[in-house]
């Protein structure tokens, strides 16, 4: 209940057979003669409200008939259960009150291009897709905090203004700090390591910044990352923590957001299978897969599939274009036009996949041990698996200075990336940290970083150094995977990308 007798759509199950009042916005409407169907949204869901001539005054009937999309209003009527209806309940309207009419709302139910929607993000929030993603993001963030808080971790807020690089120097955002350069945090890890020496198990969670020059579907310049850090942990323990953590998040989303996952077309059956243990591959084994006959066949099969998809889309486009040439009703013409926009964008995507497939196949076949795995390599490995994959023991020279060299094979480090399955790619990066003072200094020199910037960080290795490690999970990439979004920009309220900052 909000005020007086107002209820919320998510509470309608408690009002069946009774009169109730809803306050919200007009999401969509259609009229046919003496009956109108108003879809109202109120922030908690959607409800179909049926207005029949004779049940309300003629004047109100007429007003509602001409009411624009996104007008705000209050509606009163009797609630009945109806499985076929959106949300499962309907209202037979007996009265209504228009709070503020809206005309010419810019985002209509027809398709819009992504740039248009990003420029209208402040309004696009009201769409079902954005609403469902927002609800899931809320659950994911709550589950993240719950997991660490309930497992003995202490939250440590690490700074956003940093004196030196925490990852690679190329992706630093510089800030003028009273005439001196500072940088926006790329990670909270280095500060968090110091806190692990005080609290044992810690985590930080906040916005992270990277001047990523790549305009890919996996990169934002501002994203949210949660990072746990644990003293006295080895690589196996870290992998177990990561798989339990990701499984916990998924279980919570499946429990709390099933209907939103359905609306978004997420692969719920695939998510239900995500339980520990995840797959474990070393980097060397991953390279063997990439260069194998199996990968070659897999990619060739994919190419055939893309070509089939292209054919189906082209046939449908031709069919619709033919229809458009003839005499058809205006509503049908509009519907076809919207579908054509969708199909042309799908066609462009399939064309890109067809174009990239041989390039990616070649990159994989010629992959040389020693390079970092590229986006397309991760995608291939990830597409060949149905559960997340840990890739461990990367070549030392391809990785950050702080990763601990494997004492059994000094060419590789004790690190891992977790790749989400079905082509979604890396969602976690982590490692055991180099805990030997001299080796760490040598790595800092090797990477041409200034040792004096890391004096405090090196102190951890001077005073009671212990094995320790942690990882970072990207929140938007995780949500994109869970909700089957193609681009992570849909998974943060106000995305920041290299070439796009609108609102
Ligand atoms: O693999 P990364 O770079 O690891 C670190 O930052 C470590 N310091 C974490 C740690 O060990 N405490 O980033 C971790 C994760 C990635 O796996 C990815 O999910 C996400 O952060 N990420 C991004 N997400 C969106 N846009 C970007 N530009 C991202 N860069 C990394
Ligand atoms: Mg990484």
Same domain, 154 and 243: yes
Cβ atoms 219, 254 nearer than 8 A: no
Q: Is residue 341 part of a domain?
A: yes
Bridge partner list, 223: 208
DSSP 403: B
Same domain, 347 and 304: yes
Cβ atoms 30, 37 nearer than 8 A: yes
- Letter string b/e over residues 253-283, b meaning 16 or more CB atoms within 10 A of that residue's CB: bbebbeebbebbebeeeebeebeeebbebbb
Same domain, 85 and 199: no
- Taking alpha carbons only, the member of 187, 192, 194 closest to residue 169 is 187
Q: Is residue 110 part of a domain?
A: no
The CA 209 to ligand 2 mean position distance, Å, reads 14
Same domain, 269 and 388: yes
Cβ atoms 481, 428 nearer than 8 A: no
Same domain, 286 and 320: no
Best mutation site among 477, 491, 492, 499 for ligand 1, i.e. most ligand atoms within 8 A of its Cβ? Answer: 477
Same domain, 313 and 457: no
- Letter string b/e over residues 436-445, b meaning 16 or more CB atoms within 10 A of that residue's CB: eeeebbebbe
Question: Residue 449 is part of a domain; what is its CATH number?
Answer: 3.30.930.10
pLDDT of residue 284: 98
pLDDT of residue 396: 96
Distance CA 368, CA 377 (A): 12
CB burial of residue 206 (10 Å; 0-12, 13-18, 19+): middle
Residue nearest to atom 7 of ligand 1 (CA): 472
Q: What is the DSSP string of 253-313?
A: HHHH-HHHHHHHT--HHHHHT--SPPEEEEHHHHHHHHTSHHHHHHHHHHHHHHHHHHHHH
Tokens of 263: 């609306």
Bridge partner list, 28: 39
**Is the minimum distance from the CB of 476 to ligand 1 under 6 angstroms?**
yes
The CA 264 to ligand 1 mean position distance, Å, reads 25
Distance CA 251, CA 260 (A): 14
Q: Is residue 107 part of a domain?
A: no
Range of the domain at 334: 296-361
DSSP 173: P
Last residue of a domain, one of 100, 134, 155: 100
The CA 484 to ligand 2 mean position distance, Å, reads 21
Q: CA separation (Å) from 104 to 23, 66, 68, 319?
A: 21, 12, 7, 31
**Is the minimum distance from the CB of 212 to ligand 1 under 6 angstroms?**
yes
E runs forming strands in 127-220: 154-155, 161-162, 174-177, 180-184, 201-209
DSSP 388: -
Distance CA 364, CA 300 (A): 13
Q: Is residue 28 part of a domain?
A: yes
pLDDT of residue 1: 42
Q: Is residue 317 part of a domain?
A: yes
The CA 233 to ligand 1 mean position distance, Å, reads 20
Cβ atoms 341, 108 nearer than 8 A: no
Q: Is residue 184 part of a domain?
A: yes
Question: Residue 34 is part of a domain; what is its CATH number?
Answer: 2.40.50.140
Q: CA separation (Å) from 499 to 113, 115, 211, 214, 495?
A: 16, 11, 11, 10, 11
Residue nearest to atom 3 of ligand 1 (CA): 429
Q: Is residue 496 part of a domain?
A: no
- The answer for residues whose C-beta is within 8 angstroms of residue 44's C-beta and 6 or more apart is 8, 9, 10, 11
Centre a 10 Å sphere on the Cβ of residue 354 and count the other Cβ atoms it contains: 15
Residue with tokens 């990616």: 360
Instruction: Give average pLDDT by consecutive 10-residue segment, the chain, 503 residues.
Output: 75 95 96 94 96 96 96 97 90 97 89 86 94 98 98 98 86 95 96 98 97 87 98 98 98 97 96 97 97 95 96 96 91 86 90 95 95 93 95 96 97 98 94 98 93 95 98 98 95 93 90
- Taking alpha carbons only, the member of 74, 83, 60 closest to residue 26 is 74
Same domain, 285 and 373: yes
Same domain, 326 and 305: yes
DSSP 369: B
Which ligand is the nearest neighbour of the Cα of 394?
Answer: 2
Distance CA 43, CA 8 (A): 8
Q: What are phi and psi of 498, to 5 degrees?
A: -50, -50
DSSP 416: E
Centre a 10 Å sphere on the Cβ of residue 26 and count the other Cβ atoms it contains: 23
Number of domains in the chain: 3
Q: Is residue 353 part of a domain?
A: yes
Distance CA 429, CA 310 (A): 35
Helix axes 128-149, 475-483, angle to 10 degrees: 120
Cβ atoms 382, 373 nearer than 8 A: no
Same domain, 74 and 152: no
**Is the minimum distance from the CB of 45 to ligand 1 under 6 angstroms?**
no
Last residue of a domain, one of 319, 336, 361: 361
Same domain, 230 and 130: yes
**Is the minimum distance from the CB of 426 to ligand 1 under 6 angstroms?**
yes
Same domain, 156 and 258: yes
Q: What CA dihedral angle connects 325, 330, 331 and 335, to 10 degrees?
A: 30
Pairing of strands 279-282, 389-392: parallel
Same domain, 153 and 279: yes
The model's pTM: 0.94
**Is the minimum distance from the CB of 42 to ligand 1 under 6 angstroms?**
no
**Is the minimum distance from the CB of 228 to ligand 1 under 6 angstroms?**
no
The CA 84 to ligand 1 mean position distance, Å, reads 43
Last residue of a domain, one of 53, 74, 100: 100
The CA 368 to ligand 1 mean position distance, Å, reads 24
Distance CA 150, CA 326 (A): 64
């Amino acid at each position: 209940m909000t005020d007086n007798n107002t209820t919320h759509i998510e509470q309608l199950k408690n009002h069946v057979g009774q009169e109730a009042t809803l306050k919200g916005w007009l999401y969509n409407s259609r009229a046919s003669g003496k009956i109108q169907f108003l879809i109202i949204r109120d922030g908690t869901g959607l409800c179909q409200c049926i207005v029949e001539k004779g049940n309300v005054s003629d004047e109100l009937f007429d007003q509602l008939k001409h009411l624009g999309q996104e007008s705000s209003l209050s509606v009163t009527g009797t609630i009945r259960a109806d499985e076929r209806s959106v949300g499962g309940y309907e209202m037979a309207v007996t009265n209504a009150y228009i709070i503020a009419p809206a005309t010419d709302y810019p985002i209509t139910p027809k398709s819009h291009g992504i740039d248009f929607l990003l420029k209208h993000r402040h309004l696009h929030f009201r769409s079902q897709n954005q609403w469902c993603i927002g609800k899931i993001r809320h659950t994911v963030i709550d589950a993240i905090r719950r997991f660490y808080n309930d497992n003995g971790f202490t939250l440590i807020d690490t700074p956003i203004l940093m004196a030196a690089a925490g990852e690679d120097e190329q992706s630093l955002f510089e800030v003028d700090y009273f005439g001196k350069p500072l940088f926006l945090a790329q990670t909270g890890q280095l500060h968090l390591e110091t806190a692990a020496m005080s609290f044992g198990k810690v985590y930080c969670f906040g916005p992270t910044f990277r001047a990523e020059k790549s305009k890919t579907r996996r990169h934002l310049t501002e994203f949210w990352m949660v990072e746990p850090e644990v003293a006295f942990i080895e690589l196996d323990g870290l992998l177990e923590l990561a798989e339990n953590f990701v499984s916990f998040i998924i279980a919570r989303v499946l429990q709390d957001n099933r209907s939103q996952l359905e609306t978004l077309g997420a692969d719920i059956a695939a998510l239900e299978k995500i339980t520990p243990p995840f797959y474990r591959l070393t980097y060397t084994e991953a390279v063997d897969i990439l260069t194998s006959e199996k990968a070659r066949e897999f990619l060739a099969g994919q190419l055939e599939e893309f070509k089939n998809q292209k054919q189906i889309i082209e046939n449908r486009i031709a069919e619709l274009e033919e229809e458009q040439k003839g005499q058809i009703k205006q509503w049908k013409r509009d519907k076809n036009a919207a579908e054509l926009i969708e199909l042309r964008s799908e066609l462009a995507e399939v064309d890109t996949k067809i174009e990239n497939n041989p390039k990616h196949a070649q990159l994989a076949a010629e992959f040389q041990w020693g390079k970092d795995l590229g986006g397309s390599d991760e995608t291939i490995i990830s597409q060949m698996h149905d559960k997340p994959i840990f890739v461990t023991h990367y070549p030392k020279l391809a990785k950050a200075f702080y990763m601990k060299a494997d004492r059994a094979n000094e060419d590789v480090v004790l690190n891992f990336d977790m790749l989400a399955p079905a082509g979604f790619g890396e969602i976690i990066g982590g490692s055991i940290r180099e805990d030997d003072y001299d080796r760490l200094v040598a790595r800092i020199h090797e990477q041409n970083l200034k040792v004096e910037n890391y004096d405090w960080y090196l102190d951890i290795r001077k005073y009671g150094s212990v094995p320790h490690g942690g990882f970072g999970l990207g929140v938007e990439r995780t949500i994109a995977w869970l909700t089957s979004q193609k681009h992570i920009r849909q998974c943060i309220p106000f995305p920041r990308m290299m070439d796009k900052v609108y609102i």
